[in-house]
Amino acid sequence: MSATLLTQLAAALANNTVRVVDLTQTLRPSTPVIQLPPEFAPSNPFTISEISHYDSRGPGWYWNNLSMGEHTGTHFDAPVHWVTGQHYADGFTDTIPAQRFVAPACVIDCTKEVATDEKFVLEVPHIDTWEKQHGKIPAGAWVLMRTGWSTRGDSPAFLNMKADGPHSPGPSAAAITFLVKERDVNGWGVEAVGTDHGQAFAFEPAFPAHNLMHGAKKFGLASLCNLDQLPPTGALLITPPLKIAKGSGSPLRVLALVAA
């Protein structure tokens, strides 16, 4: 049965009736990095430097050295990233069970709302409305907030930093509580630089997508793109972070399998 299923999947991939959609932003030195208030330590940007390029440093090979913070570009948030998830032995990038890196996705389209409100807050009633149209969010699914934010690319409008902090959309604490307690999701993903709303430092609790998701051993995905290529339900996400010993997260390639 299972073998047949995988054979069918392989055939569907080969004849393009299942498509692979890349939900990853290109990682480059201009990739925006989250800006914290000056009293906190900053995350380094992405840097890349050539080791050799078919030249005297290495005549037959091209390769680079890389440097970056773990939470740079399209990236995975592990439970231990937040103080609320710190005691999970299986909450590091190298200890999370690999089974949790393959899971279905529910996509909530907030594009219209965000087009007129950069500080749009996704609330429980929005999830209720989505479920009336598309069915109940199944346990173990990713919930992805589609906003169109990724079209801002690497421009300053992506971080959208203002005098009172970033103006960017995200979930309310109640919405995250609902997804954790009532739906037992795998995690929460967004197009913005971080999984929380730009003003979430002032939410109760602060940074609920981090505080509550990671406190419940659930994951985050940030800086996703191409969510407009996903159906509301039915996509299968492949999201393995780098296997960094004691890592709190990592840049990753996020792939979605979508039936044509």
CA–CA separation, 210 and 198 (whole Å): 13
**Which of 72, 77, 173, 209 lies at the binding interface for Mn ion (CB under 5 A)?**
77
**Which of 77, 105, 166, 169 lies at the binding interface for ligand 23J (CB under 6 A)?**
77
Interaction residues for ligand 23J, span 94-123 (CB under 6 A): none
CB 80 within 8 A of CB 91: yes
What's the min distance (Å) between Cβ of 148 and ligand 23J? Answer: 19
**Which of 46, 142, 188, 207 lies at the binding interface for ligand 23J (CB under 6 A)?**
207
What's the min distance (Å) between Cβ of 34 and ligand 23J? Answer: 5
Closest CA to 224 of 105, 90, 48, 116: 105
Joined tokens for residue 104: 């279905």
Look-up of token digits 């307690």 = 181
Q: Please say if 81 is a catalytic residue.
A: yes
Look-up of token digits 């051993």 = 217
Give the contact letters, 15-34, x = binds to ligand 23J (CB under 6 A), - = no: -------------------x
24, β-bridge pairs: 224
**217 belongs to the binding site for Mn ion (CB under 5 A):** no
**Which of 23, 24, 71, 121 lies at the binding interface for Mn ion (CB under 5 A)?**
71
Beta strands in 24-129 (DSSP E): 47-55, 58-67, 75-77, 102-109, 121-122
For ligand 23J, which residue has the nearest CB? Answer: 194
**Which is the catalytic residue, given 81, 126, 210, 214?**
81
Q: Which does 207 bind (CB under 5 to 8 A by kind): ligand 23J, Mn ion, none?
A: ligand 23J
Contacts of 141 (CB under 8 A, 6+ apart): 103, 104, 105, 106, 183, 185, 186
What is the contact surface with ligand 23J in residues (CB under 6 A)?
A: 34, 36, 71, 77, 81, 194, 196, 207, 210, 222
Kindly list the catalytic residues.
Answer: 81
